[in-house]
Structures are given as structure tokens and as C-alpha cells.
Chain A
């Protein structure tokens, strides 16, 4: 379960969480920020990665890194299935449909105990191993998660600055216009949806390995909303913004929890803060902390 020796380890634990949510945020940003597809199902795709890794590693002893790949493939497959028909609908209906996917996917995880152990979750998920080295300590795990976060951010950044990304932005601004310019809008939307959801699965695999325990409730709608808040507050369409958003929305409240003690109130108070930030940002800083052109 990882040797835990003191407060320094706890700080690394927080940094690991930041890197995991950074992956979630940059991948959701591809959908929400760049393409204007508001998805409420990101936590469900994180769950797919988490469960794939958890089940394969505890059940068959497969190496973590292979499970990440498999998790991405499964997430890609499911998202492709869901993407094709649902992308015919617009705006509010799309959001509600993604809501529906989130609930259905979690419902399946919850109510298929023979596969997923249902509400009891999966425990005792071991740390990843590579060529004989186990990422047991929080410090070493952080190297892994930060590394993967950097890779995912680079992928997102590459998309953002490429011609592909330009088309995505065009779709966000005016889908009809983009269509009239001869771009196969549906193909672009499906591709970005599949990419975003696959990266979410990577975050899930990481989370399962560091938390050592997952259950369907870990990935509920509140998680999806939380990642959405990170993307919006960090700055939609800005990769660095998503990372910054993750830092702000996770690390700062955690460090404060470190000092303060009334945990009964701290959690809802923290979420009130997210809500307030969303409202305030939409009114005064809708482009987020780092606006689109700044860090791409």
C-alpha cells in the first residue's frame, strides 16, 4: 500500500491527485473548451479506465502499463459507439444525453456484481511495476503520474495548435459555417470525443493504483461536474489553464484542510466555493484564469 512516513508524503499524495485531475481537465478541455461539446460523462470514462486496471491487475496480475492501454481502447470503443448517434443533437440535448451516459455507465458498474463487484468496489489494487521496480512510495508514484500528465498535456497542446484544433474551434464558434466550408463536422467531433475519453481512462487507471480502492460511487456525477469546473475556471481552450485549474481547485483547499480541522463542514464549504467560483467566473471572467490565446 505504500510506505507512509509523514507530512511530506501527504504533500506528494496531493500532487499526485493534481496530476491525475490535470489529465482529466486537459482531456475534457478538448471537448468542452475547444469544440464546445459539454460532456457530463467524463467521470464515467475515468471509471472505465479505473475498473479495467483494477480488474486486470487484481484478477490476472497483468502489468499496469498494459492495462492502461486496454483501458484506453475500451474507453475509445465505448465513446465511439456513443458519439456517433449522439452528435446529431445539439446544445442542451447533448448535455442531457451525456448526463444519461454517465448515469447508465455507472449504473452498469454498480449493478453487474459478477464483473465489477458492484457497490462493494475493488480493493487491494497494487502499485504499478516496471522492469522490477515498484512505484510504491508516493514520491515515485508522483514521477509516474506527473510523467503521464505531461504526456497527455503535450498531446492536448499539439491538438490545440494544429490544423485539427483550428477546425475544432471553428466548429465551436459556428458549426453550420464550418460545415459549409466542406469540413466533415461529425468526423471531427467523433475523433475529439474518442481522444478525450481515452485520456480520461488513463487518469482512471492512475487513480485506481494510487487509491488502492475504487467503487462506482467514486466516479459519480459530482466528479464530472468538478472536472468541468476545473476546465472552465482554468480557462477553456487553454491547456496550461487546465493544469492551473487543477492546482487551484485541488491543492489549495487540501492544504488548507491540513491546517483547519472542522472536517464536518469543510467538504460542503469547499464545494460551495466551487459553485461560487463558477458563478463569479462566468460573470466576470468567462474565459477563465488563462484565456485562450495565452498559453494555448
Chain B
């Protein structure tokens, strides 16, 4: 059983890592606690569900629609809500509260449009058959989640290190004031970061929807996990969030080996509190000097 739980944990961890990638790139670069990221995630999930199950569109059209909506919505929030707030000198708290307001607004809009019971997306049935490997059972879909998160992680790292835009992003994260001087168009970079992070959320929610469906509260849960992973792993590096995600996934699933399953969520938050109090810089300490 322990081995199966550990495998469950790694798979769950890779899903969390994927969430951490999306949220982390936004938070790490802009230092904005983009609460509404959860709403972008959920809405993309419902667009995917609606395209496939209600409208009967092909699989890739649904995925494309979800990614498009996400990549459009995220930057719109930056452009039309966060930026104007910053221009009038709003404090961090005020930006956070409006992000919270956006989240509540969109989550309840989703409830009005689709009601609040969980919806399943019955596709890719072949991927969901169990395969036995030794004493452990996994599904093709779970492999896909693991592979996707590792591939995207690698791709993101390469992008940040090798491309001009990637370096501009890292510059912005390290020292926002400096970027103006050096000639980087801070506005465009920010919008791109939001689009990228939101698209990553779109990928994550599509995979999650195929596995266990979508519900209006999905975004809140995803956001919390992403936040915990990023903080536990270290807010200053993408790899930190990924490491944090895997740690949480494994800890949750292996933790309930001895503890009753009801405490699963509390384990994640317990880890969070421990890290915040004892090691706020996370597993992987500061890399971009502030």
C-alpha cells in the first residue's frame, strides 16, 4: 500500500507542480498576489467542459478554447484592473482585495451559468484504464500529467534562460525599477507573464477535468495548493514551486498512511504554516537578489 500511496503522491505532486508553475511565474515576476488566478483556472475548466460535453466539439478545439480564454482573461485583469489601481497609487492590500473581489465575482458567475454540482468530462477513456506495474496501478492519464508537468517545467526553464523575452522576465522579477532604465517595456512583459501563467493554468485544469471533473470551487483549491507549493518551495524560483508541489503531493498521500484520510488537506496547510514560520524563503532559498 505504501508504494501505491507514494506513487499517488508523485502523480498528485506533478499536478501541483504544474499549478505552481502558472501561479509562480506571475507571483515571482510581478509580486502581485493574483487571487483571481483561481477564477481563470476554473473558468477555463468550464469552457473546456462546455465545449466538449455540451457543444460536442472535438477534443483539441475544447483545449484550444480553454487555453485561449485563460490566456486572454489573465492579462485583461492586469490591464484593466491591476494597472489602473497601481497608477492611482493603490496599496498592495487594495490590489489583493480587488483580486479577491474578481475571484468571488467570477466564481459566482460560474455557479449561475453552470450550477454548482461537479461536472465530469468523459473523454479519453482509453487513457483512464488502469495499468499494473509491479504492485502499483496507474492510468495513462496519470502518466500524461507527470510527463506534461516535467516537460513544461523544462521548457519554461529553457525559455527563461535562453530567450530574450525570458531574460526580460527575470530582469523584471529581480529589479522592476532597473528594467525601465535598461529599456525593457515593462508593461508588455507583465502582460506576457500573465498570459503565460494563465495558459499554464489552462493546461492544468484540462488535465484535472479529464481525471476528476470540474466544480466551481476547483479554482480556490488549485490556488491554495499553488500558493502553498510556491511558498514552501521558495518564491524566488520556478523550480522552487515545482519542488514544493512534489513535496506537498507526496506528503499528503503518504501522510495519510497512518493518519485518517480526512486530514489530507490539513497536512498541506500544516506544512505551509511550518515553512512560513520557520523557513519563509522556502526549500530553495533566494536566488534573485532583491
Contacts and interface: CB of A to CB of B under 8 A. Distances in A.
A279 B108 contact: no
A7 interface: no
A271 B105 CA distance: 7
Contact of B109 (A100, A104, A229, A272): A272
A286 interface: yes
A38 to B, nearest CB: 6
A116 B130 CA distance: 39
Contacts of B269: 99-100, 103-104, 107
B85 A107 contact: no
Interface centre among B94, B95, B220, B228 (most CB of A within 10 A): B94
B93 A36 contact: yes
Contact of A100 (B116, B260, B276): B276
Interface string A101-117: 10110011011000000
Contacts of A96: 227-228, 231, 272, 276
B263 A111 contact: yes
A228 B96 CA distance: 12
A268 B90 contact: no
B94 A275 contact: no
A96 B235 CA distance: 13
Contacts of B107: 271, 275
Contact of A97 (B84, B93, B102, B276): B276
A85 to B, nearest CB: 4
A278 interface: yes
Contact of A286 (B81, B94, B103): B94
Interface string A244-273: 000000000000000000000100110110
B84 A283 contact: yes
Which of A88, A99, A100, A279 has the most chain B CB atoms inside 10 A of its CB? A100
A92 B27 CA distance: 11
Interface residues of B, number: 43
A103 B272 CA distance: 11
A62 interface: no
Nearest to A265: B112
B280 A93 contact: yes
B265 interface: yes
B33 interface: yes
Contacts of B88: 283
A110 B100 contact: no
Nearest to A270: B108
A278 B231 contact: no
A277 B116 CA distance: 22
Interface of A: 36, 38, 85-86, 88-89, 91-93, 95-97, 99-101, 103-104, 107-108, 110-111, 221, 225, 228-229, 232, 265, 268-269, 271-272, 274-279, 282-283, 286
Given A88-B277, A97-B272, A104-B269, 4 more contacts: A85-B277, A96-B228, A97-B277, A228-B100
Interface of B: 33, 81, 84-85, 88, 90, 92-98, 100-109, 111-112, 116, 220, 224, 227-228, 231, 260, 262-263, 265-266, 269-270, 272-273, 276-277, 280
